Every structure is written in C-alpha cells, then in structure tokens.
Amino acid sequence: MYLRCLTGDQSKEWVKWIPWIKYSYNTSYQSSIKTTPFNVVYGQSPPNLLSYVLHTTAVDAVDKALVERDALLQTVKQRLVEAQHRMKRVYDLRHRYEEFELGDWVYLRLQPYRQLSIKIRKNQKLSPKCYGPYKVIQKINTVAYKLELPSDSRVHPVFHISLLKKRVGSDVVVQSSPPCYAVGDPSIAPQAILERKTHKDQCEVLVHWKGFSVADATWENLQELKVRYPHFTLEDKDILGGEELSRS
C-alpha cells in the first residue's frame, strides 16, 4: 500500500524510495499493536528526523538528497492519510455502529436459503425482506442479540446485528413470521451447480435449488454447502454443462 500511495506519479523511481518508505512504516503508530513497529523491536521510540534547512551542507549531492527526502516523507504521510480515509469510507458504507437495549423492538431480516427450517416461496424475490418486529430479550454482546420469537418458530433466536433493524415509531404494521417446515418435512435441497468462482480465496458455487427456477439460484460457499448437505456429493462434471448434486 505504501508503494502504491507513492508511486502513482513516480512509478519509475520507486526503488530508491524503499528505505524511506520502510522508515515511515516502522515509525508510524499502528492501531492494532497500539505502538510503532520500531518501538516493538527496539523497546524505545524512534529518533526524530530533523527537517533539513536548505543549503546548510556544502555538498550539493547531499543537499539535493535531503531536500528530496523531506519532500518524499511529507508526500508519503499525506497519501497514507488519504488512503486511510478512503478505506474508512468504504468500511462505513457496509457497517453501522448501533446497539440495542433489552426491551427494544427490532425487525429481522432472514435468508431462507440459510435458515433451512424456513419454507421458500415460489416467488421468493417478492417475499418480505424483514419480519417482526420482535423484542430483544438478551444482549449476547455488541453484535449479537437474542430475540423473543413466536413459540412455533424453529429458527435459532440469536442473530447478528447486521440482520436487525430497530423499529421506529409505534404505528407500525406487524409483518407475520415466515412459514416454517414442520418436523419431518423435507427441507430445501440443492439440485445442480451452475457456476463456480473464487472470492477471497474461498470457492463459491451458484446453486440451483430443487423445485425452483434458475433465476432463484444463489451463490453459496462450497465448504459450507457440503456441511449443510452431507448426504449430497458433488459429481466431477464439466462446469459449463452444469455440476449435478447427487445423493451419496
């Protein structure tokens, strides 16, 4: 990341700046370790680099090198701050900082393909995205909460905060709970693998679910799929022709 921040407009000069980039990294405060890498290795704070005063050395080459050093370090610091701000904005877009208290009412977002006890409707894309509201009865930690679900619900009552949304106001229409499979009913099962891809070093497959159209296919983690459906095995077939899931 440091090289990328610096060499955007100086791509041909990156080699000579590596020592200063390493110094900038090793003397910068790291939030993960609550100190600088230099302090971890040597047990003391890094020495301060004094800014160079122009023309205080009689050697022109040294004068030029020190001027370039100061300009480079300033550029590195500025661009690192910009990169950190960009990463923070991206992170904040997908994360929210919110906490619920006991007694709060929240809406619950369920994924029928994840909760196998929930029946999947034929027109799943038109089904409600959230159900409830339900009452928060226990705070497991800042990101996990236990809800008071209906007595006939077969869904585990503890949910991540990303699946919850606080109810606003009192005049809210209650969305009925999703229908569940009765004990002994067959749950949804995969029929075929339509496609395969690698995402963040994890293999994902596009699953065509039995009894539903190809348009309702969903991307699933391959290892999780094998755990959730131990009675099905992947046949070794050409992915372009579709990989069938057959009973073992």
**pTM attached to this predicted model:** 0.39
Residue 40 contacts residue 63 (beta carbons within 8 Å): no
Structure confidence at residue 138 (pLDDT)? 92
Q: How far apart are CA 209 and CA 207, in angstroms?
A: 6
Residue 62 contacts residue 53 (beta carbons within 8 Å): no
Q: Is the pLDDT of residue 114 over 70?
A: no
- 23-27, 73-77, 82-86: which has the minimum mean pLDDT? 73-77
Structure confidence at residue 137 (pLDDT)? 93
Structure confidence at residue 41 (pLDDT)? 92
Q: Is the pLDDT of residue 119 over 60?
A: no
Q: Is the pLDDT of residue 104 over 60?
A: yes
More confident residue, 30 or 39: 39
**Among candidate residues 68, 78, 62, the one with its CA nearest the CA of residue 16:** 68
Residue 190 contacts residue 232 (beta carbons within 8 Å): yes
Q: How far apart are CA 192 and CA 211, in angstroms?
A: 11
Distance of CA 237 to the CA centre of its chain: 32
45-82: per-residue pLDDT in tens?
888 777 777 777 778 888 888 888 788 778 777 877 88
The highest-level CATH class for domain 105-166 is mainly beta
Torsion angle defined by CA atoms of residues 64, 75, 39 and 50, in that order, rounded to the nearest 10 degrees: 40
Residue 112 contacts residue 83 (beta carbons within 8 Å): no
CATH of 190-247, one of 1.25.40.20, 3.30.465.10, 3.40.50.300, 2.40.50.40: 2.40.50.40
In the chain the beta strands, taken as DSSP E runs, fall at: 105-109, 130-141, 144-148, 158-160, 164-166, 190-199, 202-209, 218-221, 232-234, 243-247
Q: Is the pLDDT of residue 6 over 80?
A: no
Domain ranges of the chain: 2-94, 105-166, 190-247
Average confidence score pLDDT of the chain: 74
103 token code pair = 């007694």
Q: How far apart are CA 14 and CA 19, in angstroms?
A: 10
Mean pLDDT of 225-238: 62
More confident residue, 154 or 148: 148
49 token code pair = 């680099």
Query: Count of CB atoms within 10 A of residue 146's CB?
Result: 17
Mean pLDDT of 90-97: 74
More confident residue, 231 or 206: 206
Q: How far apart are CA 219 and CA 207, in angstroms?
A: 6
**Among candidate residues 72, 78, 147, 67, the one with its CA nearest the CA of residue 106:** 147
